């Protein structure tokens, strides 16, 4: 319909940048889980990535209001950017609590969940990168299916983790702390699925 | 304005289907509360209804993108379907926790709240069914008012339930489990009110 | 573009009204914190303001559907009104819990947070009042920056408050009660930032 007018490609760069920041945050969170002695530096790193994510989201909003023709509906671009930002916010909130609540020992479930989140974030990024080229078969759908699968796995893991926590006979205050950290981590995984849904909405309109 | 072109009636079928699934889920949840010895089968039933609800929501999204003239604004149809899905998600989350947390005895407040939720879900369904015919007086408004009243009742019940729970002298871990189940159940009732608000937005534009 | 047709000014009155109700609710909440012996009257006052806020939001929705030309995009007006309503809902929920949970003594962090919230609500109101006149420099941006700063402060305060609570050696049930009240209060402060974001979206399109 608007084939002659070149579509704005800067949005793809912004989306890729935001996805890369998301992957870095999830990577730092899994890094913290695997190297808990240096937790402070991972928490700082995540905090800094959270600011970068905000800044990219803000630049996108400005660009949306200055651009007449956008590659997808502007509310879909905005939703996608906001959902990516949401994941980073959850990671930041969870990571901060580990130091704030003076958690000294991690649980196996926690480590497992940070890995699920990291895998899901990479699939998100791969799907976002492929939005540039929707005409040819490009494997986006496979990635979305896998993100949904990881969300289910995260959900099951979280249920098992909380059930175990409640049976553990631990101090109730420690139980409360872990409940909150588990729930925030699971929510980060859930929100990767929200991104998958936002991408799916774009696919439905543009393929 | 578009009087000659037949408006797509398939959307009404999809909305009615989604509402019926919602009622079935709320009915199964109240069933679980009244027949707790067979709780596993109700939890499975709710799980299955949750999948059906997802599938209907997905079909609606596809249909919205293939249809030029929709009976209401497309974002209003989408919001209505998503809100119905939200209620089922809350019911599913709450029901699963009862078995996962190995709750052996139910409380009177819990039973009462599942009944409030079931009544509200039936009113939602009756209101949704009446969206097909907005020209004649059809009692939608009365149902919306009643949904708001039930939301207030659910809120009051939840406050009383939690206050009682906190005074009960129970084991703190058991208190945490019930707090979460109560809050999820109340949220399901709240979300019926979100559906009522979505319907009201449609009425404002179409009557 | 539509310079000749007078833009509807009633919306500005409604937005100012809603902002004034929000400030009154935050003021009553800080009042409760400073005069806890008379808490019941503040809780009632907040409850009443919550109803007023609902009623203004409802009138705005009706007006939006009857008005052809609105001063800003209709979804932006609606989002702004809903976000103001959200803050009042959080205040109402938090205030009610203080009496319901029979909290007898307040904490220093709680008092501090009600003050942060009250300051943020006044900045929100000042920013909303200035939406009438976007052509001249009017100090909206300074206020939005300050709201963001207060949100960060509220976040830091909440973390410190919860960390202290968890170290306090208090009864776990009392810890749960305060955790919920702290989180609701912080969420009210967060939602003032959501209003700032809604205002920023309006500025981007209209300046």
Higher pLDDT, C69 or B14: B14
Q: Where are the domains of chain C?
A: 10-206
Mean pLDDT of chain C: 93
| Residue range B51-82, pLDDT digits in tens | 999 999 989 988 988 888 899 998 899 999 99
Which distant-in-sequence residues (6+ apart) come within 8 Å of A56 by Cβ?
A14, A17, A18, A21, A81
Q: Can you give the pLDDT at residue C197?
A: 92
Q: What percentage of residues in chain C have a pLDDT greater than 70? A: 96
B176 touches chain A (CB under 8 A): yes
Separation in Å, CA C40 to CA B107, C32, C37, C46: 29, 8, 8, 10
Condensed to tens digits (0 to 9), the pLDDT of residues A167-207 reads 998 899 999 999 999 999 999 999 999 999 999 989 988 87
pLDDT band, very low/low/confident/very high, at A137 (cuts 50, 70, 90): confident
CATH topology of domain A10-206: Methane Monooxygenase Hydroxylase; Chain G, domain 1 (1.20.58)
User: Chain A closest CA to B36's CA: distance in Å?
Assistant: 20
- Between CA B45 and CA A40 the distance in angstroms is 46
A204 in contact with chain B, both atoms CB, cutoff 8 A = yes
Mean pLDDT across chain B, nearest whole number? 93
Q: Please report, rounded to a whole number, the percentage of residues in chain B having pLDDT higher than 70.
A: 96
Kindly determine whether residue B204 and residue C176, on different chains, have CB atoms separated by under 8 Å: no
Three-class SS of chain A: CCCCCCCCCHHHHHHHHHHHHHHHHHHHHHHHHHCHHHHHHHHHHHHHHHHHHHHHHHHHHHHHHHCCCCCCCHHHHHHHHHHHHHHHHHHHHHHHHHHHCCCCCCCHHHHHHHHHHHHHHHHHHHHHHHHHCCCCCCCHHHHHHHHHHHHHHHHHHHHHHHHHHHHCCCCHHHHHHHHHHHHHHHHHHHHHHHHHHHHHHHHHHHC
- Give the residue among A151, A132, A121, A148 at the shortest CA–CA distance from A22: A121
- Judge whether B163 is closer than 8 Å to chain C, CB to CB: yes
Q: What residue has token string 């939608």?
A: B140
Cα–Cα distance for residue pair A160/B48, rounded to 1 Å: 20
Facing residue for C172 by CB, picked from A62, A65, A172: A172
Q: Is pLDDT above 60 for A5?
A: no
CB of C150 within 8 A of CB of C119? Answer: yes
pTM: 0.90
Whether A159 and chain B come into contact, CB under 8 Å, resolves to: yes
Which residue in chain B has the smallest CA separation from C177? Answer: B166
Check B175 against C177: CB less than 8 A apart. Answer: no
User: What tokens appear for C38 in the block?
Assistant: 């008379």
**Each residue's pLDDT tens digit, C55-70:** 999 899 889 888 888 9
* Contact with chain B for residue A136, Cβ under 8 A: no
- Whole-angstrom distance, CA of residue A120 vs CA of residue A116: 6
Task: Encode pLDDT of C135-171 as tens digits.
Answer: 877 899 999 999 999 999 999 999 999 999 999 988 9
Residue B196 CA: distances (Å) to CA of A200, B13, B78, B118: 27, 19, 14, 15
C65: left (phi over 0), alpha (psi -120 to 50) or beta: alpha
Dist CA C37 CA A176 (whole Å): 31
Would you give the DSSP letter of residue B4? T
Q: Find the CB nearest A166 among B62, B65, B173.
A: B173
**Mean pLDDT score, A84-101:** 96
Buried b (16+ CB within 10 A) or exposed e, C81-91: bbbbbbbbbbb
Question: Is B61's CB within 8 Å of A201's CB?
Answer: yes
> Which chains border C (3 or more CB–CB pairs < 8 Å)?
A, B
**What is the pLDDT at residue A32?**
98
A46, two tokens: 């995540």
Buried (b) or exposed (e) across B164-190, using 16+ Cβ within 10 A? ebbeeeeebbebbbbbbbbbbbbbbbb
What span, in angstroms and rounded, lies between the C-alpha atoms of A91 and B137?
Answer: 51
CA angle B73, B79, B81 (to 5 degrees): 105
Share of chain B above pLDDT 90, in %: 82
Residue A110 tokens read as 């926690």
Q: Is the pLDDT of residue C129 over 60?
A: yes
**Contact pairs from chain B to chain C, CB under 8 Å:** 23
Q: Is some CB atom of chain B closer than 8 A to the CB atom of C132?
A: no
Selecting from A65, A96, A173 the residue whose C-beta is nearest the C-beta of C166 gives: A173
Nearest CB among B61, B100, B173 relative to A159 is that of B100
* Residues on chain A touching C162 (C-beta within 8 angstroms): 100
**B172 interface with A at CB cutoff 8 Å:** yes
Using alpha carbons, select from B74, B71, B59 the residue that is nearest to residue B21.
B59
ipTM: 0.85
The answer on pLDDT for C4 being more than 70 is no
Chains linked to A by 3 or more Cβ pairs within 8 Å: B, C
Q: Residue C170 has what DSSP assignment?
A: -
Interface check C61 vs B, CB under 8 A: yes
Nearest to C175 among A96, A100, A173 (CB): A173
Q: pLDDT digits over B171-185, tens only?
A: 999 999 999 999 999
φ, ψ for residue C134, nearest 5 deg: -90, -10
* Residue B77 to residue B73: CA distance in whole angstroms: 7
Q: What is the pLDDT of residue C6?
A: 54
Cβ neighbours of C172 in A, within 8 Å: 172-173, 176
**Which residues of chain C make contact with A176, given a CB cutoff of 8 A?**
166, 172, 175-176, 179
């Amino acid at each position: 319909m608007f084939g002659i007018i070149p579509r704005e490609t800067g949005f793809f760069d912004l989306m890729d940048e935001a996805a890369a920041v998301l992957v870095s945050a999830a990577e730092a969170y899994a890094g913290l889980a695997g190297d808990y002695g240096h937790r402070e530096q991972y928490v700082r790193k995540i905090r800094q990535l959270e600011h970068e994510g905000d800044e990219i989201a803000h630049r996108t909003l400005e660009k949306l209001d200055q651009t007449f023709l956008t590659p997808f509906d502007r509310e879909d671009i905005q939703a996608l950017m906001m959902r990516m930002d949401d994941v980073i916010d959850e990671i930041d909130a969870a990571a901060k609590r580990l130091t704030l609540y003076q958690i000294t020992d991690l649980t196996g479930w926690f480590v497992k969940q940070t890995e699920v989140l990291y895998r899901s974030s990479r699939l998100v990024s791969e799907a976002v990168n492929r939005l540039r080229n929707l005409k040819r078969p490009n494997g986006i759908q496979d990635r979305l299916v896998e993100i949904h699968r990881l969300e289910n796995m995260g959900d099951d893991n979280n249920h098992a983790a909380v059930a175990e926590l409640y049976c553990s006979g631990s101090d109730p205050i420690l139980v409360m702390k872990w409940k909150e950290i588990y729930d925030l981590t699971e929510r980060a995984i859930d929100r990767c699925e929200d991104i998958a849904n936002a991408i799916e909405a774009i696919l439905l309109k543009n393929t």
